[in-house]
Structure 1
């Protein structure tokens, strides 16, 4: 394997490796029929998605919330007239029911969402935004959209068009693979 660069400031920090050691690991550990260039690009896409989420969480930190919780609040905002069960929320967000329940608990403690029992079937629970939740979403959206936009600032207009085409293609592919849509 490639020697790592010694670029760290604290003795317990891990050194920055860059992409090369990962490429070598792909070459050494993948099956012979794997397209290694695709694996490298997929890895880079994973890293990019992690960085985008990290940047969003930094922007949302002053509001005391993370992107995943905002994702749930946006889902409820956009489906405000429909009743949403925790199971439906989990399915739509592509998370486990336990994760959805944990997020709903967190949001409920902050009075952003409320659980209501169905009048027809008391075993069924619906989640909806509170008035405070609606106001919170309205307050945070300008920061959220500005953070989304900031991810694209280094792309020229023509590059953004190509990127949009590629991202749409990848989104459709992943939606088919996972049998889920937003």
Structure 2
């Protein structure tokens, strides 16, 4: 229950801050996953990377495409596949929102845990996944 409450609290704070950029945490995570991937990705890859259902990815992609932050194109090597990539607006949005995201994390995590405790927490959480 403690893990759930902690996650819920942090998600609420992040949603409040990301909302200033017309983003939900899910949309933000998808944008960051695309940037981290460094290439156009399949929706199924994004779904696996973010550990969400294909239907959820589809909804996130629809919203981000409508806002002009991502684009979907047919894979030239296999026209049955769709590739998703960031638009220039998507890259710009990440650059604007990233400091706010980091500051929110710092305010709610760094101020409460030492650097050693943060590393220990990361290791423990990775162990659970």
Structure-1 separation of matches of 2:56 and 2:16: 21
Write out the 4+ residue segments of structure 1 that deviate beyond 4 Å after TM superposition.
Answer: none
Aligned residues: 129
* Bigger strand fraction: 2
> Which structure has the higher relative contact order (CA within 8 Å, separation 6+)?
2
Over the aligned positions, Cα root-mean-square deviation in angstroms equals: 1.4
5+ unaligned residues in a row in structure 2: which ranges?
none
- What is the aligned partner in structure 1 of residue 109 from structure 2? 152
Q: How far off is 1:166 after superposition?
A: 3.0
1:167 aligns with 2:121: yes
Out of 74, 84, 87, the residue aligned to residue 44 of structure 2 is 87
Structure-1 separation of matches of 2:91 and 2:35: 7
Q: How far off is 1:125 after superposition?
A: 0.6
* Bigger helix fraction: 2
What secondary structure does 2:73 align onto? strand
Structure-1 separation of matches of 2:115 and 2:99: 23
- What is the aligned partner in structure 1 of residue 3 from structure 2? 45
What secondary structure does 1:126 align onto? strand
- What is the aligned partner in structure 1 of residue 28 from structure 2? 70
